[in-house]
Structure 1
């Protein structure tokens, strides 16, 4: 059920001044004074909904994979092309900056004022915990992308905001983890009715486990994953249908951004299909991502015994490939997708068509689900149970403990997708299991905005995000049956560079440093 309290007019209005473009987006009070606002539970709920606005969004979740080797963003004005290519500078970050204190300041203001509201004490503590989660999440994003960031725990004046320095990342991360641990004891396990979509105990513990994994705190990560694994989450039985609007809020979803058609719409589904479907072809899966999927035998395509056929490369593959990506010759929206012939409306070199020849399918497997793909109610998943299982498996592997629980976690994900269980005679060492779990994370979570963080923490940027980005081979598609005839080399999409001493962090936006002279810049920028 859609949360029926989504960002109502009161919440939008009272938080409007928190959208200023100055450094900390100060003073989130506009038409309402504290004395007139905090008079009822409904007021507190409206203010909490204002905190939810802009905490995360479909745009950032979709485009983050273009910072990695999974995707190519072909339109620089959409904000992510230069991050992916290595051409980003402090001056050209405006369209995609995640350096934002809007949510932080809203949450600080909320936490400082809700105590004045006459309402049920237990519910008040829950509301406070949700605001603390949203603040912690924003600090997770900023500290992951920028490293040191100012840690602001209360509302501050414009004068103070414009002089505050960056806080060491270790202190920021400790704050995040401490907050999440504290609120996990307060938040409920689940909700019903109009409360569905609010922050749960599982969300707090799962985000904490994610942070712990990224920070290599494996013992704590394992402990938190086990707590989540005991809360009743399940893998949705059908991988492709997991991402369809009629199946949202299912038992695999731990945290998502809730959207509602017309009122608070997910307006970016249309960026993914190509021109003949009315889309823009903005985000283009790469050949490197396509090649990461195993064959149905459970072997990688470079294994001569895998059954891979480079003349029919999308056949006999992990079903998650064609559930995630529309490949040439694949049936899609009533016809065989053809991006490899110049006579086709979806030809890779045409306007508003994918420059790799591949388009995303994960969120658009059935365009008929939407009356208007630019105005949808499709929720965007932020954390789901499959990620927790993979997080648990990776933390165990990196701890040197490979027991049945590790294989079982990975097997559950693979078998749900229609793949064989892990061959334990082959994957029987830490190095081999590390390779496996990293590949599983990539293909299972592809296009969900997490790949860059994996590249970042594994320090594989030079290996995977430099050099030539390739797309499909060209050829023909038989319109009657989808049969491919491929020839020549893969299309060349882009040349990328990666500097190890610079590109694992984003540059602090120059506009922020122009306002606040005490903000230092990350190395190399």
Structure 2
């Protein structure tokens, strides 16, 4: 795979910002070889380095959140000069898309680093082996979920045993002699989902309930809830979300604005990406704040459709969570405040999402696991001073998810699982997923291309 050329040292080009392991505290551009991983502290440093990789703009630092929203036209526009982004928004991306390449390369770096850590678990004490294994599998599982969803047809399209997603590589690729390990054909949607669920179930069973800013068992349950929703498995989705709500030590932030732009996790962050001035997704050309914040804080390239305010009733504080500004090129427009402040924590899964997931899953499953759909949706609405619902219909859940989770990447997954149109395009339109990067296909003849590219 082409990513080998760039990431042949895989996990070893990271800054070990969270570890005191000096053996692995390397400078950018240098690397160490796998044989230098000789003890438990080294294995933990590899895992910690993978969190740094999750922070990258081709992962949760930007593209895992922004690109899905662009693909489904989630009430935003791009006024910047970076052509690959405007191509995504216009559904004109092609097989040479640098954005598709970046997401693919970063994804397989994350996966390979997890595989490397898993291959070294014989160095870990019995006390920590299960938790370290679970942590590596968590990162691998959520990465495969993102890659499978962005490069493959959705689960809801059916034909899950024939539709292709991405290659499943479950062993580390460390050097050129391992090319056969990495150069695999695309696995089916069914196979990728099964692997994701297996990894996340293991993570949920073996991660601690409290793991600081790192993934804990409730983060695994939260992603399982996302996976089950994407499958239309509403009973399991409700149960997974219920675990987060009832067993996790999370509460909704006192007010909606307190869920964003924080220096540390808010009380409702089930899983979040940590950032600071020294370690972040970018401040010049990439990163959520770089794109979403108006100049001079950011570039202001991503503006939101001002009609989004019409989705909120008067008095709902979410209606006021927008401001007027301009891009660095002087384009006037509206901006969301969610990604307004530099070096802030990036919420990946919030408790509010789990309430909305449990509510909708229970509604569609005619169940009341944990609580009633009405109580759950009103828990989220009440926090924002929106009028409580008295009755519910299917459209209420779709609308409330967008009101609450706009510009957090959620709309893509809602469109795909519910088979909603995107303008004149059906949910499974060829251009609503990314192309398999041509550079990958040039070095791996087993990779087929998505139709439309």
Give 1:166's match in structure 2, choosing from 170, 186, 196: 186
Find the aligned partners of 2:25 and 2:181 in 1 and give their Cα distance: 23
Give the Å deviation of 1:52: 2.1
Give the Å deviation of 1:202: 0.3
Map of 2:80 onto structure 1: 75
Map of 1:38 onto structure 2: 38
Find the aligned partners of 2:52 and 2:25 in 1 and give their Cα distance: 8
Give 1:216's match in structure 2, choosing from 213, 217, 232: 232
Give the Å deviation of 1:253: 0.6
SS in structure 2 of the partner of residue 358 of structure 1: strand
Find the aligned partners of 2:141 and 2:147 in 1 and give their Cα distance: 10
Are 2:302 and 1:283 equivalent residues in the alignment?
yes
Are 2:23 and 1:5 equivalent residues in the alignment?
no
Compared with structure 1, are the counterparts of its residues 225 and 151 closer, same or farther at alpha carbon in structure 2 (3 Å cutoff)? same
Correspondence list, 1:10-409, <5 A: 11=24, 13=26, 30-34=31-35, 36-39=36-39, 41-55=40-54, 56-64=59-67, 65-68=69-72, 69-75=74-80, 77=82, 79-94=84-99, 97-100=102-105, 101-117=108-124, 119=125, 121-147=126-152, 148-156=165-173, 157-161=177-181, 163-191=183-211, 196-231=212-247, 232-246=249-263, 248-264=264-280, 267=283, 268=287, 269-275=289-295, 277-291=296-310, 293-295=311-313, 316=314, 318-323=316-321, 325-326=322-323, 337=324, 346=326, 352-354=329-331, 357-364=333-340, 373=342, 376=343, 378-401=344-367, 405-409=372-376
Compared with structure 1, are the counterparts of its residues 175 and 76 closer, same or farther at alpha carbon in structure 2 (3 Å cutoff)? farther
Map of 2:156 onto structure 1: none
Where structure 2 has 5 or more consecutive residues not aligned to the other structure, the ranges are 1-15, 153-164
Contact 1:149–1:167 at 8 Å: present in 2 too?
yes
Contact 2:145–2:193 at 8 Å: present in 1 too?
yes
Stretch deviating more after TM superposition (49-58 or 103-112): 49-58
Find the aligned partners of 2:335 and 2:53 in 1 and give their Cα distance: 27
SS in structure 1 of the partner of residue 402 of structure 2: helix
Alignment RMSD: 2.8
TM (norm. structure 2) is 0.82
Compared with structure 1, are the counterparts of its residues 162 and 45 closer, same or farther at alpha carbon in structure 2 (3 Å cutoff)? closer
Find the aligned partners of 2:28 and 2:299 in 1 and give their Cα distance: 33
Find the aligned partners of 2:43 and 2:190 in 1 and give their Cα distance: 33
Contact 1:70–1:451 at 8 Å: present in 2 too?
no
Contact 2:253–2:268 at 8 Å: present in 1 too?
yes
Where structure 1 has 5 or more consecutive residues not aligned to the other structure, the ranges are 18-29, 296-315, 327-336, 340-345, 368-372, 428-432, 467-496
Find the aligned partners of 1:48 and 1:162 in 2 and give their Cα distance: 20
Compared with structure 1, are the counterparts of its residues 75 and 10 closer, same or farther at alpha carbon in structure 2 (3 Å cutoff)? farther
Stretch deviating more after TM superposition (393-402 or 202-211): 393-402
Higher share in helix: 2
Compared with structure 1, are the counterparts of its residues 190 and 354 closer, same or farther at alpha carbon in structure 2 (3 Å cutoff)? farther
Give the Å deviation of 1:37: 2.4
Map of 1:503 onto structure 2: 431
Map of 2:3 onto structure 1: none
Give the Å deviation of 1:222: 1.5
Find the aligned partners of 2:90 and 2:251 in 1 and give their Cα distance: 37
Give 1:411's match in structure 2, choosing from 333, 354, 378: 378
Find the aligned partners of 2:18 and 2:356 in 1 and give their Cα distance: 33
Give the Å deviation of 1:138: 0.8
Give the Å deviation of 1:70: 2.5
Correspondence list, 1:467-478, <5 A: none
1:222-277 Cα distance to aligned partner (Å, 9 max, x none): 1212222222321111101221325x3232110011123224566332433333x3
Contact 1:70–1:289 at 8 Å: present in 2 too?
yes
Give the Å deviation of 1:352: 2.8
Map of 1:491 onto structure 2: none
Give the Å deviation of 1:402: 7.2
Compared with structure 1, are the counterparts of its residues 167 and 500 closer, same or farther at alpha carbon in structure 2 (3 Å cutoff)? closer
Give the Å deviation of 1:154: 0.9
Give the Å deviation of 1:164: 1.3
